[in-house]
Structure 1
C-alpha cells in the first residue's frame, strides 16, 4: 500500500528529541518538459568543449569559474542526504577537521518559469495515500523551497537539466554552511564572499562531494577566552567545509520498531490513518543494512554463519600515530563476535586508510572513518548518520581526540593502581595504553552500530563477583561495554585479578542487543509482525538472563543506572573503592615523579583525579536514599515498573555517608602531597564535597520524593522523610549529646545542615545571586504542597532548644562561638515574634505547652 510520508522526527535520544529532519510528500511538478522556456540555451553553448567534466550522481561541469550540475530526470523527487563536515578549522576552535556540522534531507523538483527547485525536509507525519486523512496530512506539511535554479540547458540524450550551482554553493545558506550556533561559538558575523570559493567538486556513483573555503568576519568578544587567534590577528576566520550529497536508496530498508528494553538510538514520526482513534508514534531503531549475499541464502536459511553483502568497514585516519592503529582496529573487530550471534561473520572490519588511493577522500560519505584530532580535549565519540525514512545507518565518522590517553591514564592509575603494577607510573607501556585505547574504540564503535549507553549493565554483577578471578575471566566486571563501568576498582590486591577482570569488554548484553537489532527473519513478516516477535523475544530473554537488562543513560532516581559505578551494592563497592584509594594515596609522590627534573604538576593532576574518584563513590551511594527502581515492562510481563529502594539499603547508605563524609577523611589530607602541590586546597575541596552532600541529602527534591513514595506507593515500612531527617540530625549533632568540642570540619558540616534546613523552611529568602535564587525557587516548587517545610520547621525548633541548653555549658571557646552563631541564625529565621507559642509532644505522648519560648526542648 502506498503511503505519503511527510517528514519525520529524527535522532530520538529518548531523554528528549535531539534533532528534527524531514521526508517529502509525493507531490510532483508538471510533466517532463512543461516548464522549459525559450531562453534555455543549447547544451553545447553552456557546457562547451573546454568544460572539465566528471560523471557520477550528478554530472559536474567546470566551465571557467562556474560549476554546473547536470540533474537527470530520474533523480528528480529522489531523496538526498546532505552531510556537512569540517575539513579544516581555525586554531583554538573547539571543532576539528572531520567533525560533523549538520545533516539535512533534500530533493530537487521541476518548478514553473524554467526553474529547478531545491526543497528541504522539515515535517513529521505519515498517512496511507488511500486514506482520506492523507489529504489533511499533506495540506498541513508544506516543505520549504530553499533555492530556485534557472535551467540553463537540457541534455536531451540523457534527459537531464543543467543548472548553475556556483553562487548557491558560495552563499551563506542553511544547507551548506555553518549553523547559527557554530557562528555564535566562533563569534562570526557575515560571509566574506570575495575571500570564499569552491575548492573542488568530486562526483561518484551515489554521492557528490563539495569542498569549499569560507571566510567570515569575526567580532572580538569581551570574554577573551572566546576569541580565536585568527580573529584577533586579522578580524576574519577561515574554515574549510565538505558537503556530501548522498543518494538515499530508492526502496528504504525495512524498519525495526524500537523497544525501550533494548538500548538503540531511534527516529520517529507520527502516523495517521482513517481507522485510528488516536495518532500513532512510529519509532524505529538505527542500524546498518546487513543482508546475506544471494549465493549464501541457502546457508543462512540453514543457520550457518554467512558474510553480509556489504560489510561495515571503518578506516583509520592516516593522521593516527602508527603504533596505536592496530589497537584501534582490534577495538573495531571485537564486534565481529557480537554479529556472529546475529548470523553474520566478518560483518565489521577495521582497516588502515589506503593512502596511495587518490580517488578516496576522508570526507567522502561513502566511507566510515575513525578521525584522529590533534586536540588537548580528553574525549572520543561515535556518531551515526541515518536514512531518515528507515533508520538505516549510512556511515559514521568516529571522533578520536589525541589527549583521551591522558584521561585513560589517570582513570587507570587511580582505579587500578592498587592491583596492577603497570599502572604505577606516568607513562604507561605501549601494550597497556594500547589495551586502554582498544577498550574505548570498542565502546565508540558500539554507538556507531546504533547502541546507546547502558548505565545499568554494571548492576548485573554482584559485588562479591568483582573479587572472583575465575568468574571475572569468564564474564568480565560488567555485562556491557556500553556502560561507563571503566575499571574494576573493587578488586583487592590479594584477589590476583588479571587484566581481563579489570578492563571492560564486549559482554552478554552487547552480543544480545546486536542479535536483537540485526537478526533477520525468514518469511514475509510485516514490520508490525516483527515487532510482536521481537517484543516476546525481549521479554523471554531478559527474564532468563538478568544480565541482558538495559538500564538507559541514567534514569532520574534509579540507583542501578549510574555512570562509573560497579556492582549491585554501591555501599560495599564504595567501601572497597575507598580502601584502594587509601592504599595508593601514600604512593602518589613516588608514582608521579619518575625523573629528578619533574615538578609536581603530575602529582597535583593525579591527586585531583583521586578526589574526583572519592566524590564518585559518595555520589553512587547517595542515589540509594530516596531511590526508585524503574524497570520498563510490557503488559504481558507483569510486575511493577516502579519499586522503591528498601529502607534497609537506604539506612546503610546513610551510615556510609556518616563514615566517609560526615567525619573528615583525613587519609586524603596526606601532608607529603599537600606540602608539594602548587595550591593545597584539599581542605576546601573536601569541605565542598561535604557541603554538596548535605545539600543533596536535604534537598527539597529528595525529601518530597521520599514523602511521595511513602504516601502513594503504600509499601510496607517505607523510609519516611521525617524519620530520615531525624537520623541525619542525630549524626550531625552528636557532639551536643556529650558536650564535646566540635572540630573545624564538623563545624562546617553543622553550618551546612542549618543552611539547608533554613532553605527548606523558607525558600523565598535566598541569600546570594541568581543561582541561589533559582535553586531556592526550585526548592519552593518541589516542597510547596508537601510536608517537607513542616518537617524542616519542627527540626529547627528542636535544634534551637538544644543549642540554648548546650551553649552555657560549652567549654571549648570556638565551639561555643560556633553554636551561638547558629543559634542566632535560627532565632532570626523562626524568632519568637513569629512563634510565640510552641507545642511539642514529650515521650509520654501528653500534649504540653511552653509559653514564650522559655522552656527546654
Structure 2
C-alpha cells in the first residue's frame, strides 16, 4: 500500500470520527435544554380542570359541564339543514302530561357563522320549484324570501385544528324556554298554566350518534288548572323529563307526492314558484315512507316485490312477553293493504338487537315500539319525524303504557258488560286484553304511516247494522280503523254473534294506503302525471261515503265528525247505549269483586257518567249542523248540506229532555258510600246547558244558508217551552231545570245587556263562522287543512239578542204569576232570583 495514501485515509477517518462526536454532543445538549411550553388555547382553557361529560360522534360532539350544555359543531356541517324536536319522556303527573307527547312542531334550521356568533337560521324553503327559473326571478325571490335568524350563540372557542366551533346552547336545550314549549296548555276542558322553575331544572343525559343527537333534561314547573277561567285547586309542582333531538336531514332522493285534500294523510306545505303569467300558490306534500320495489320491472307487471328499505320497527325487550305478539300483529296487520299495491313485507317488526353495539333506541335511525311504565291509563302515542323538504317519514316511534290494561278494561266493561258476561269482572281475560291491545296498536300504527284520524267514518254504517252479526263480522264497526271507536256499545243483550270490536282494517284504510304508497317510477312518470293519475283514482272512489275522509277541523259544524260515535243515527245509537249503560251501572256492585274501598267501582261509575255526556254531545251536534263534503262540483254531491229540519228539532228536544232529567241517572246511594265530593252528573249540568245554548249560533248560520230549514226563532221557542215548563205549570223545578233555567237567563242577560248598552259580557259572544277556502289555484285537488264551512257574516246570520229579549219579555210576567202560587221556599227563591235578573236587564237606561 502506498504510504502517503494510507496516511491520507487515516487522517480522513479521524476527522469524520471527531465530527460525529461533536454532533452527538450537540444533540445531548439539546436534550438537556427544557422544551418551550405549548401555548394553551381557548379550547383547552374551556374544559381545563373541570368535570366534563362528553359524547363524541361524527355529528355534533356534546359537552355537559356544570349543568351547562355545549355543542362542538364541525364546520363542515354549517348550512346543513337539521330538525330540532322534543318529546315528553317522563313525568310526575301523568294526569296532565302524557309521555310521548310533542307540544311543539319540529324546528327546521341550519347553523351558520356571522361575525363572532353561531346563528340558527330557519330556511325559507317554503318555495317549491319543479322547473328552472330565470336569473331575475331568482334574484327577486332571494330578496323576498330570506332565511330568518332564529337564535344566536357566542363563539367560545374553536377546537385545536379549527375544524369545529364550540358554543353554549344551555339557554335553548338545557333550560325551559318559550321557544320550545314542552308543556301542554289544555287537558280536555281544563286549561293548564305551567310556570317554569329554571333553578330546579337539570341536564340529565347526552348522546350523540352519526347523524343525530339527544339531550335529556328534567324540567320542573308549577301547574295551575282552571275550568272556564275558574281556578281548580292550587298550584302543584311537576317535573317532566324532556328528550330533545337534533337530526341531520338526509339528502333524500324521494320525490314529494302532491296532496289531495280528500285524502286523510298528514302533510307539509310549500309555496310554488310562479311561472310567467301565473300566480304563486301553495303546494302540499303527503307524509310517507320511501318505499321503492327492489325489482321495478316485476312490480310494473303486477308482481309482489319486497321494498329496497322496508319499514322496520324495533320492539322493546322491556314489554311483558304476553304483550309482544299482540303488538306484532297490530303492526303487521298493515302489510295487507301494502300487498294489495305490490309490496311484500313492507313492514317488519324485530326485537331490540342484543349484539349490535351501535343500536340505541334514542338514535333516530331506529323506529322503536317503547314500553313506558306509568300510573295513568293513556292510549298509545307516537312520535313521527318528517323531512319537510320532501314529506319523507324518517322515523316513527310508538309509546305503549304499562297501565293500558286498565284503560281497555274500563272501555270494554262500560261499553259491553251489559251484553257480554265474560267481561263482568275486575280484569279482562288474556284473550280480550290481547285483542284490545292489538286494536290500539293498529290504530296508532296508522298515524306512524302518515294517516290522520277519520272520525266520521263510523257515521256511514247504519245503526241497525251494528246489531247484525253478519254485517259486523264482515265489515267491522267502521270502514276505517282510524275512526276513534272502541267497542260496540250499540249491540243489545238479545243480539247474537255480533262483533264487539274491530275485526281488522277497513276499506278506507286500504284505499288510503293505495293512494299514499302506490309506487311510480320517477324516470318514466312525471310529478304532474303522477298527480293526475292519483286524482282520477280518488275521483272514482270518493263517491262512496265509506271511502271519504271526514276531517277533524270540520267537527264544529259537521255532526258526523264525532270521537267515539257509532252509527248514522245519533239518537237511536244514544238510546241503545243508554239502555246498556243503565244496566252496567245497576250491575256494577255485583260484577266488580274484591274492591272493598270501591276505588275501582268509582272510576267505572265516573266513566259511565262521562259516556252519558258524550252521547248527549253527539246528538246535540245535529242542531244547526252542516254536512261538509270535500267533493268536486262535477261529482254532483253538494259541498255542504244543512242537517234536515226535522232531525235538528228532534235532536234538540231529545237533548233538552236528557239535560233536564240527567241527574236521574245518578246512583245516589252508591255516591254517598264513596269518596265523591260532587257527583259528575251534577257537575255536568252546566256543560250541557252551555252545549245547548252554543247551538244557537250554528242554527243561525245553517238557517241563513237554508231559510226553509230549522230557524233560530223555532230553536228559541223549543228551548223556552222545554226549559221553563215548570214556570208555565206553576210547579217546583227539578234540579236539572233549575240549572238550565239559571244558565239560560245568565246568557240572555249578557246578550241583551250587550245589545242595549246596559253592560257587556263575553258569555254570549257567538262563535265565528269559519270561512271557505280561497286558495283555488292549489296544485292537487283542494286545500288540505282548511275548513269546508261556507263563509257567512255571523253578525247578519245570528239574531240571538233579539230572541233572548223576546224570551225574557215572555218570562217576566210568567215568573210574576208563578211567585203568587203556593210554592216551597227553595223554589220561590230560585224564581225570585231569575225575576230579579230579568228586571235588572230590562231596565231602561236614563
In the TM superposition, residue 105 of structure 1 has moved relative to its aligned partner by 3.8
Cα 1:580–1:228 change in 2 (3 A) is closer
2:287 aligned residue: 286
State the SS of the aligned residue for 1:396.
strand
Paired residues of 1:53 and 1:59 also in contact (CA < 8 A): no
2:646 aligned residue: 648
Equivalent-residue separation in structure 1 for 2:283 and 2:817 (angstroms):
66
State the SS of the aligned residue for 2:743.
helix
In the TM superposition, residue 548 of structure 1 has moved relative to its aligned partner by 0.6
2:790 aligned residue: none
Q: Greater shift after overlay, 81-90 or 532-541?
A: 81-90
Equivalent-residue separation in structure 1 for 2:821 and 2:54 (angstroms):
97
Equivalent-residue separation in structure 1 for 2:103 and 2:73 (angstroms):
24
Equivalent-residue separation in structure 1 for 2:40 and 2:323 (angstroms):
57
Equivalent-residue separation in structure 2 for 1:675 and 1:152 (angstroms):
71
Paired residues of 1:242 and 1:363 also in contact (CA < 8 A): no
2:510 aligned residue: 511
Q: 2:714 aligns with which of 699, 706, 723?
A: 723
2:349 aligned residue: 350
Q: 2:133 aligns with which of 104, 115, 130?
A: 130
In the TM superposition, residue 759 of structure 1 has moved relative to its aligned partner by 3.2
TM-score, normalized by length of structure 1? 0.77
Paired residues of 2:413 and 2:424 also in contact (CA < 8 A): yes
Paired residues of 1:704 and 1:783 also in contact (CA < 8 A): no
1:48 aligned residue: none
In the TM superposition, residue 628 of structure 1 has moved relative to its aligned partner by 0.7
Cα 1:225–1:496 change in 2 (3 A) is farther
Cα 1:563–1:190 change in 2 (3 A) is same
| 2:686 corresponds to 1:691 | yes
In the TM superposition, residue 338 of structure 1 has moved relative to its aligned partner by 1.9
Paired residues of 1:466 and 1:491 also in contact (CA < 8 A): yes
| 2:586 corresponds to 1:586 | yes
| 2:666 corresponds to 1:669 | yes
2:416 aligned residue: 416
Matched positions, count: 744
Paired residues of 2:752 and 2:841 also in contact (CA < 8 A): no
2:601 aligned residue: 603
2:810 aligned residue: 798
In the TM superposition, residue 696 of structure 1 has moved relative to its aligned partner by 2.4
In the TM superposition, residue 304 of structure 1 has moved relative to its aligned partner by 1.8
Equivalent-residue separation in structure 2 for 1:424 and 1:504 (angstroms):
22
2:841 aligned residue: 829
Q: Greater shift after overlay, 395-404 or 76-85?
A: 76-85
Equivalent-residue separation in structure 2 for 1:767 and 1:565 (angstroms):
43
Higher normalized contact order (CA 8 Å, seq sep 6+, divided by chain length): 2
Deviation per CA, 1:596-655: give whole Å up to 9, x if none. x62111111111101000000100000001111111123432432111000111122123
1:625 aligned residue: 623
Equivalent-residue separation in structure 1 for 2:459 and 2:826 (angstroms):
46
Q: Greater shift after overlay, 241-250 or 398-407?
A: 241-250
Deviation per CA, 1:245-275: give whole Å up to 9, x if none. 3341253x11111111111111012122242
In the TM superposition, residue 587 of structure 1 has moved relative to its aligned partner by 0.6
Equivalent-residue separation in structure 2 for 1:200 and 1:651 (angstroms):
61
1:708 aligned residue: 701
2:49 aligned residue: none
Paired residues of 2:377 and 2:405 also in contact (CA < 8 A): yes
Deviation per CA, 1:225-246: give whole Å up to 9, x if none. 54347xxxxxxx9x68564533
In the TM superposition, residue 137 of structure 1 has moved relative to its aligned partner by 1.6
Q: 1:679 aligns with which of 676, 679, 703?
A: 676
Unaligned 5+ segments in structure 1 are 1-38, 42-51, 155-160, 230-236, 836-857
Q: 1:189 aligns with which of 189, 198, 205?
A: 198
Paired residues of 1:244 and 1:364 also in contact (CA < 8 A): no
**What aligned pairs does 1:757-772 form with structure 2 within 5 A after superposition?**
757-763=748-754
Deviation per CA, 1:653-672: give whole Å up to 9, x if none. 12322442223552x23344
In the TM superposition, residue 530 of structure 1 has moved relative to its aligned partner by 2.0
In the TM superposition, residue 313 of structure 1 has moved relative to its aligned partner by 1.1
State the SS of the aligned residue for 1:130.
coil
Equivalent-residue separation in structure 1 for 2:597 and 2:842 (angstroms):
53
Cα 1:61–1:588 change in 2 (3 A) is closer
2:145 aligned residue: 141
State the SS of the aligned residue for 2:641.
strand
In the TM superposition, residue 117 of structure 1 has moved relative to its aligned partner by 8.1
2:763 aligned residue: 775
State the SS of the aligned residue for 2:271.
strand
In the TM superposition, residue 536 of structure 1 has moved relative to its aligned partner by 1.9
In the TM superposition, residue 571 of structure 1 has moved relative to its aligned partner by 0.5
Paired residues of 1:315 and 1:370 also in contact (CA < 8 A): yes
2:776 aligned residue: none
In the TM superposition, residue 751 of structure 1 has moved relative to its aligned partner by 3.1
Paired residues of 1:695 and 1:756 also in contact (CA < 8 A): no
**What aligned pairs does 1:2-21 form with structure 2 within 5 A after superposition?**
none
Equivalent-residue separation in structure 2 for 1:507 and 1:571 (angstroms):
25
Paired residues of 1:255 and 1:284 also in contact (CA < 8 A): yes
Equivalent-residue separation in structure 1 for 2:221 and 2:173 (angstroms):
24
Equivalent-residue separation in structure 1 for 2:93 and 2:704 (angstroms):
57
Paired residues of 2:567 and 2:573 also in contact (CA < 8 A): yes
State the SS of the aligned residue for 2:634.
coil
In the TM superposition, residue 370 of structure 1 has moved relative to its aligned partner by 1.6
In the TM superposition, residue 345 of structure 1 has moved relative to its aligned partner by 1.8
In the TM superposition, residue 758 of structure 1 has moved relative to its aligned partner by 2.8
1:8 aligned residue: none
State the SS of the aligned residue for 1:487.
coil
Cα 1:59–1:773 change in 2 (3 A) is closer
| 2:456 corresponds to 1:456 | yes
1:227 aligned residue: 237
Paired residues of 2:369 and 2:397 also in contact (CA < 8 A): yes
Cα 1:116–1:586 change in 2 (3 A) is closer
Unaligned 5+ segments in structure 2 are 1-38, 42-52, 184-192, 225-232, 769-792
Equivalent-residue separation in structure 2 for 1:88 and 1:585 (angstroms):
35
Deviation per CA, 1:753-777: give whole Å up to 9, x if none. 3333333333479999xxx943345
Cα 1:96–1:732 change in 2 (3 A) is closer
1:746 aligned residue: 737
In the TM superposition, residue 481 of structure 1 has moved relative to its aligned partner by 1.1
2:260 aligned residue: 259
Paired residues of 2:293 and 2:305 also in contact (CA < 8 A): yes
In the TM superposition, residue 360 of structure 1 has moved relative to its aligned partner by 0.4
In the TM superposition, residue 410 of structure 1 has moved relative to its aligned partner by 1.3
Equivalent-residue separation in structure 1 for 2:744 and 2:62 (angstroms):
74
Cα 1:199–1:519 change in 2 (3 A) is closer
State the SS of the aligned residue for 2:370.
strand
Cα 1:107–1:805 change in 2 (3 A) is closer
In the TM superposition, residue 147 of structure 1 has moved relative to its aligned partner by 6.1
Paired residues of 1:125 and 1:269 also in contact (CA < 8 A): yes
2:331 aligned residue: 332
2:26 aligned residue: none
Q: 2:611 aligns with which of 610, 613, 617?
A: 613
Cα 1:779–1:265 change in 2 (3 A) is closer
Equivalent-residue separation in structure 2 for 1:431 and 1:656 (angstroms):
39
Pick the structure with greater CA Rg.
Answer: 2
TM-score, normalized by length of structure 2? 0.78
1:269 aligned residue: 270
Paired residues of 1:342 and 1:516 also in contact (CA < 8 A): no
Equivalent-residue separation in structure 2 for 1:703 and 1:807 (angstroms):
29
Paired residues of 2:101 and 2:381 also in contact (CA < 8 A): no
Equivalent-residue separation in structure 2 for 1:615 and 1:408 (angstroms):
20
Equivalent-residue separation in structure 1 for 2:548 and 2:273 (angstroms):
33
Paired residues of 1:40 and 1:151 also in contact (CA < 8 A): no
Paired residues of 2:62 and 2:208 also in contact (CA < 8 A): no
Equivalent-residue separation in structure 2 for 1:758 and 1:55 (angstroms):
67
State the SS of the aligned residue for 2:170.
coil
State the SS of the aligned residue for 1:287.
coil
Equivalent-residue separation in structure 1 for 2:469 and 2:601 (angstroms):
31
Equivalent-residue separation in structure 2 for 1:319 and 1:694 (angstroms):
47
2:399 aligned residue: 399
Q: Greater shift after overlay, 611-620 or 267-276?
A: 267-276
State the SS of the aligned residue for 2:357.
coil
In the TM superposition, residue 485 of structure 1 has moved relative to its aligned partner by 1.5
| 2:406 corresponds to 1:374 | no
Cα 1:364–1:654 change in 2 (3 A) is same
State the SS of the aligned residue for 1:581.
helix
Cα 1:649–1:259 change in 2 (3 A) is same
